[in-house]
């Protein structure tokens, strides 16, 4: 039940910059908290808004050194690369369409990139970004934060150790209700604008999370999908509800539902995995629980840090069972895994093989998933493969 020093800084915090995440953003604040929880980063620079005045005001509000508040990410990348104490990593938390151009500025200068999802707003950018990332010396971490939840780590272990037998059925869904009416705030506006969000609405914003989560836990690879997308709110140019059937390599089948128009759902991401010998169920809104049923035995309620917890979960856990960890701690786990990798790179040591984080290739798959959904739906829900 003890918190060890493991999660706390050993003296050399990573110098971090941020692109996006100004005063009225949502996800920027989440990234900053996530970077602080385990004390492995210190935020020292920012290009926090595409509007220079807002960038300055936001940087000041965060207590940044005025010299390191930048009007745009290009300036920041070059200036920081030139400093001896320049940033070692950057968090990119802008709307989707900016991810690509911003990321390459830093990757090309050897600055590690921690980027929000989806990877990019279109598939061409995604593929180019993969190429850039793979030739860069810097690391690329995508914040599919739900993979940081301890019970998701445990679920993955249960599947990969074969405790469910061959997987047959995967049911994953991510319903919300906040876009049931017209999008009338900053968060809603850009997420429903194809120029900034990409061609997917619910598919891009939350469907990618659901798809990534299912892939992470099961290690299954998608063979093809059939998608029926809908825009229920008048005049909305992107989908706000998506029904998707999936066929995985090896024969497993799945369904994915993402929706922003399902009243009574806040962030109701739910994953269920069924194999020959057992089943798993997990719900993001109650993330400290994992239901595990060995076929023919009673259901077990596994709890974070409780009886039945395993190493894969324990290493990303801070406090005793029954004291709930939440979204921010799961997000922090991605940052801490990234820090593990960055510090190993910095120190020239081998990376602990237990470290897991979503990569640029996972990001590409997410963008391919959105693209495939849109293509399939345009073809009356014909089966399509990832492109």
Orientation angle between helical segments 96-107 and 73-82, nearest 10 degrees: 20
Interface pick for its own copies out of 86, 278, 358, 366 (rule CB under 8 A): 278
d(CA 34, CA 145): 10
Could you tell me if 361 and 140 are in contact, meaning their C-beta atoms sit under 8 angstroms apart? no
For its own copies, the binding residue among 73, 100, 106, 274 (CB under 8 A) is: 274
**Contact stretch for its own copies (CB under 8 A) within 205-213, 296-304, 344-352, 363-371:** 296-304
Does residue 273 sit in helix, strand or coil?
Answer: strand
CB of 219 to its own copies, least distance (A): 19
Residues in region 22-81 near its own copies by CB under 8 A: 23-26, 28-30, 32-33, 36-39, 58, 60-63
> Does residue number 302 form part of the binding site for its own copies (CB under 8 A)?
yes
249 binds its own copies (CB under 8 A): no
* Residue among 38 and 71 whose Cβ is closer to its own copies: 38
Q: What does the block give as tokens for 270?
A: 């739910």
Residue 267, interface with its own copies (CB under 8 A)?
A: yes
Task: Give the shortest CB-305-to-its own copies separation in angstroms.
Answer: 8
Gap between the Cα atoms of 256 and 249, Å rounded: 16
- Give CA torsion, residues 340, 341, 347, 350, to 10 deg: 100
Site for its own copies contains 176 (CB under 8 A): yes
Nearer to its own copies, 70 or 327 (CB): 327
CB 285 within 8 A of CB 249: no
The sign of the dihedral angle between the CA atoms of 77, 78, 81, 84 is: negative
Candidate list 108, 190, 194, 293; residue touching its own copies; CB under 8 A: 293
Residue 328 near residue 143 (C-beta atoms within 8 A) = no
* Binding region for its own copies (CB under 8 A) out of 104-112, 118-126, 178-186, 201-209: 178-186
Q: 245 or 343, CB closer to its own copies?
A: 245
Q: Does 200 bind its own copies (CB under 8 A)?
A: no
Nearest approach, Cβ of 249 to its own copies (angstroms)? 15
Q: State the CB neighbour count (10 A cutoff) for residue 66.
A: 8
- Please check whether residue 268 is in contact with residue 286, taking contact to mean a CB–CB distance below 8 angstroms: no
Position 319 contacts its own copies (CB under 8 A): yes
Task: Please tell me whether residue 209 binds its own copies under the rule CB under 8 A.
Answer: no
* Nearest C-alpha neighbor of 340 from the set 27, 30, 38, 4: 38
Does 203 bind its own copies (CB under 8 A)? Our answer is no
| Partners of residue 91 on adjacent β-strands | 18, 114
From 100, 216, 282, 327, residue interacting with its own copies (rule: CB under 8 A): 327
Considering the complex, what minimum distance in angstroms separates the CB of residue 58 from its own copies? 7
The CA–CA distances, whole Å, from 229 to 189, 265, 357 equal 19, 19, 30
The interface with its own copies within residues 120-159 (CB under 8 A) comprises none
Q: Residue 194 interacts with its own copies (CB under 8 A)?
A: no
Query: Per CB under 8 A, does 321 bind its own copies?
Result: yes
Look-up of token digits 């929000």 = 116
């Amino acid at each position: 039940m003890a918190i060890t020093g493991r999660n706390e800084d050993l003296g050399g915090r990573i110098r971090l910059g941020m692109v996006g995440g100004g005063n009225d953003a949502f996800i920027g604040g989440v990234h900053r908290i996530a970077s602080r929880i385990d004390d492995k980063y210190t935020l020292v620079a920012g290009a926090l808004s595409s509007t220079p005045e807002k960038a300055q005001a936001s940087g000041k509000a965060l207590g940044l050194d005025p010299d390191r508040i930048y009007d745009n990410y290009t300036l920041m990348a070059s200036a920081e690369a030139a400093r001896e104490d320049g940033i070692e990593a950057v968090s990119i938390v802008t709307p989707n369409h900016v991810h690509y151009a911003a990321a390459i500025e830093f990757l090309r200068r050897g600055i590690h990139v921690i980027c929000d999802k989806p990877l990019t707003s279109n598939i061409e950018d995604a593929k180019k970004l993969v190429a850039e990332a793979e030739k860069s010396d810097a690391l690329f971490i995508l914040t599919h934060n739900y993979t940081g939840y301890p019970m998701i780590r445990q679920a993955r272990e249960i599947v990969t150790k074969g405790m469910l037998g061959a997987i047959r059925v995967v049911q994953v869904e991510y319903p919300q209700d906040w876009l049931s009416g017209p999008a009338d705030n900053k968060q809603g506006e850009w997420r429903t604008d194809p120029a900034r969000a990409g061609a997917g609405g619910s598919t891009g914003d939350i469907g990618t999370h659901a798809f990534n989560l299912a892939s992470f836990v099961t290690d299954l690879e998608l063979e093809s999908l059939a998608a029926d997308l809908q825009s229920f709110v008048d005049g909305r140019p992107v989908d706000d509800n998506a029904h998707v059937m999936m066929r995985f390599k090896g024969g497993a089948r799945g369904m994915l539902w993402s929706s922003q128009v399902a009243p009574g759902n806040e962030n109701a991401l739910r994953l269920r995995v069924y194999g020959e010998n057992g089943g798993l169920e997990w719900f993001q809104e109650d993330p400290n629980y994992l239901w595990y049923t060995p076929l023919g035995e009673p259901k077990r309620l596994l709890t974070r840090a409780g009886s039945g917890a395993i190493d894969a979960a324990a290493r990303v856990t801070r406090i005793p069972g029954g004291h709930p960890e939440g979204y921010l701690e799961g997000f922090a786990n991605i940052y801490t895994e990234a820090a593990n990798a960055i510090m190993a790179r910095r120190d020239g040591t081998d990376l602990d093989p237990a470290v897991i984080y979503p990569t640029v290739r996972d990001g590409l798959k997410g963008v391919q998933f959105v693209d495939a959904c849109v293509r399939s739906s345009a073809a009356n829900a014909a089966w399509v493969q990832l492109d």
